[in-house]
Copies of this chain bind each other. A is one copy, B any other.
């Protein structure tokens, strides 16, 4: 009869996850503005760029502190630094990659990660023919070394690019060796225990949800 309500009616009004997911968007826009030499920006202007209401931006930021100045707006440089701080991006992060098939290789070669401080430092594959090969400067290791290697390097972020059939098993193993954030490219609704964060990259799902609005065509 006594339910586990305790967990839900938490005392700390935790920052909503939707808010956290919007912060990188703000950060990116600020970086752009900064590169264009803009020094001050209002929530109004930010909202225009991002197609959202100024109030939402202000409310989101207010979860973390007071970063603006009445009558002026936000200092681009200052807000940018604060957001980086909040998101834990003032440091570099090591990332492990599992699966070096076509997709995995594309991910390794993708030039957009490193500039943002995410460095793929280890790669693993179940296929013995892949093991020992060098891809983008990284030597592919056997799955037998997964736990050992991830733990030894204290890697907390992993990218999963293995076939759907093996993804959950791989994810379970990653969780076991204390990986706390997983970016999953496999088209499965993966399950992870609470402390672990998971985000899915799934282009087919995205397409399938858009065709709903195209039915009439």
Interface residues in chain A, defined as those with a beta carbon under 8 Å from any beta carbon in chain B: 20-21, 23-25, 27-29, 49-51, 86-89, 93, 95, 102-103, 106-107, 109-110, 112-113, 116, 118, 156-157, 159, 180-181, 183, 187, 189, 191, 197, 199, 201, 203-215, 217
Query: Across the interface, do B50 and A211 meet the contact criterion of CB distance under 8 Å?
Result: no
Q: Is the interface of A mostly helix, strand, loop or mixed?
A: helix
Contact of A208 (CB < 8 Å), options: B116, B215, B217: B116
Q: Give the docked Cα–Cα distance between A143 and B24 (Å).
A: 32
Is the Cβ of A211 less than 8 Å from the Cβ of B51? no
- On whether A86 and B212 interact (CB within 8 A), knowing A29-B189, A103-B106, A106-B103, the answer reads yes
- Are B112 and A106 in touch, CB under 8 angstroms? no
Contacts of A95 in B (CB 8 A): 207
Pair A113/B213 contact, Cβ less than 8 Å:
no
Residues of chain B within 8 A (CB-CB) of A208 are 23-24, 27, 87, 89, 116
Known contacts A116-B204, A206-B199: does B212 contact A88 (CB below 8 Å)? yes
Q: Taking the full assembly, how many copies of this chain does it contain?
A: 2
Q: B205, A25: Cβ atoms under 8 Å?
A: yes
Q: How far is the CB of A45 from the nearest CB of chain B, in Å?
A: 13
In the complex, residue of chain B having the shortest beta-carbon distance to the beta carbon of A93: B211
7 smallest beta-carbon distances between A and B, as pairs: A24-B208, A199-B206, A181-B210, A106-B106, A88-B215, A88-B211, A197-B210
Once the chains bind, are A203 and B183 in contact (CB under 8 Å)?
A: yes
A212 vs B102: C-alpha distance when bound (angstroms) = 30
**Is A181's CB under 8 angstroms from B93's CB?**
no
| New A-B pairs, 14, CB < 8 Å, besides A93-B214, A116-B208, A183-B206 | A23-B208, A28-B205, A49-B189, A51-B191, A87-B209, A87-B215, A89-B208, A103-B106, A113-B203, A116-B204, A159-B203, A181-B210, A183-B203, A197-B214
Q: Determine the residue in chain B with the shortest Cβ distance to A112.
A: B204
For A21, A110, A208, the residue with the greatest tally of chain B CB atoms inside 10 Å of its CB is A208
Interface centre among A110, A191, A212 (most CB of B within 10 A): A212
Taking a contact as CB atoms under 8 Å apart, the answer to whether A209 and B24 are in contact is yes
